[in-house]
Amino acid sequence: MPEEVSDKYIVKPSKGITGEIAVPGDKSISHRSIILGAIAEGVTTVKGFLRGEDNFATLNAFSSMGVRIDDDGTALKIHGVGLNGLKEPEDVIDCGNSGTTMRILSGLLAGQPFLSVLTGDKYLRRRPMKRVIKPLSMMGGEIIGRSGGEKAPLAIIGKKLKSISYESPVSSAQVKSAVLLAGLYADGETSVKEPQLSRDHSERMLKYFGADIKRSGLEVSVSGNKALSGRDITVPGDISSAAFFIVAALIVPGSKLLIRNVGVNPTRTGVIDILLKMGGNIQLQNQRKVSGEPVADILVISSPLKGVEISGDVVPRAIDEFPIISVAAALAEGVTVISDAHELRVKETDRISAMVVNLKAAGVQAEEKDDGMVIHGISKLSSFNAESFGDHRIAMSMIIAGLTTSGSSTVKEISSISTSFPDFLSLIRKVSAV
């Protein structure tokens, strides 16, 4: 059986992370390219689409609603059906492990003239859904779910929607995007305000497709019933995938790695700001704009790191990177304190408790806080047996941690990696000297 297929991975220590790589396409932008391409008029082509399970869940959902999507292996061609051309799916839509698929689709489906039912795997069925159902109900949507509407499966009975001004209690791109997509089907202007800015790919891409989007500080609004036009999209590399390699190159002595073509949208670069503050040698080169998104090449050279305090606005800008940031913190000199990150408790798994358990297994003194963690850095991790808790980012973070131990380490249940980064292990083998 090839190593990738086995559900347990044995990591060997690395003598340096060197060379040049490109990481696969951005997961968030890939989801949005299918969604907007499907409801636009005309054809949308997508290059650099992330071929991960989460994105195929979104793709399959639109195929099941009558959208033709051709795939020649390098680019997708989406034959948009217009705002009102989706068809009632004949079966339940399976969102797999993908919270983005379920939450953003809920917004789009709330305003369709048909019934749809969304479900997902056991991890997704545990995650909170009221955060999207609440504003959608305020717009006149009818969505029911388990546990009083908190959990999937969700049944969405399409309704005529009305516009609202919504103040979201959480900084969440999924909530914001769900409301904006629903707003495309409501008369007038729908707006969402969030406590801190979350990733803004939806608003950028809506604008790129010709929607009427206005931003004022932390509030963004969209006008309803305006047709979108198909576009050509080139998806940049995913900074959330690059982050594993950035940290690997920082913490494995003797490393120098160039990662080409990474999306560096400022709502996503919190991880770079945090690692720079920790003392990391990271340089952004060749900065440019592609399909409305900033892109750069990233050069990383191994560096001694120091502990830092992380809180406030940077947290949503680095929200998916805390597992790998906590690995960097474990090998930094001094203490790192992560606060204001309560959202980590409702990701694919509870990432605060998962990382504290795993870092302790590697000999690190780490403590949970309600909204984060405290990590006391050490100079060398012990060989460990880590659990992924079915979470791709926990699995990849602990594989990176294993590159720095004296002996081999084991990470269990790694199949989840294919939700976001199917080539992760082969890329590690490509750049890691053993």
Residues in region 374-433 near ligand S3P by CB under 6 A:
none
Looking at the DSSP bridge assignments, the partners of residue 190 are 222
Distances (CA, A) of 412 to 8, 41, 292, 383, 407: 4, 45, 39, 14, 17
Q: Choosing from 26, 320, 350, 391, which is the catalytic residue?
A: 320
Order the strands of the 151-157 sheet from edge to edge.
93-94, 115-119, 151-157, 142-145
- Enter the tokens of residue 65: 């609603």
- Per CB under 6 A, the segment of 173-181, 260-268, 288-296, 357-365 that binds ligand S3P is 173-181
Closer Cβ to ligand S3P, 159 or 199, answer by number: 199
Minimum Å gap between C-beta 355 and ligand S3P is 15
At 168, list the tokens: 């979201």
Of the listed pieces 61-69, 169-177, 268-276, 357-365, which binds ligand S3P according to CB under 6 A?
Answer: 169-177
- Indicate the Cα dihedral angle 400, 405, 410, 414, nearest 10°: 0
Q: Quick one: which of 174, 358, 405, 409 contacts ligand S3P (CB under 6 A)? A: 174
In angstroms, what is the minimal distance from the CB of 31 to ligand S3P?
A: 6
- Of 289, 269, 288, which Cα lies nearest the Cα of 280? 269
Which two tokens mark 254?
Answer: 């003797």
- Examine the residue annotation and report whether 371 is marked as an active-site residue of this protein: no
User: Is residue 200 a contact residue for ligand S3P (CB under 6 A)?
Assistant: no
Query: Rule CB under 6 A: which of 305-364 touch ligand S3P?
Result: 319-320, 343
**Would you call 29 exposed, middle or buried from its count of C-beta atoms within 10 A (0-12, 13-18, 19+)?**
buried
Distance CA 275, CA 87 (A): 46
Positions 26 through 55 that interact with ligand S3P (CB under 6 A): 28, 31
Name the closest residue to ligand S3P (Cβ). 28
Binding residue for ligand S3P (CB under 6 A) from 30, 55, 60, 172?
A: 172
The yes or no reply on residue 173 touching ligand S3P (CB under 6 A) is: yes
- Contact predicate 384/405, CB 8 Å: yes
Question: Judged by CB under 6 A, does residue 241 bind ligand S3P?
Answer: no
Catalytic residues: 320
Residues that bind ligand S3P (CB under 6 A): 28, 31, 100, 172-174, 177, 198-199, 319-320, 343
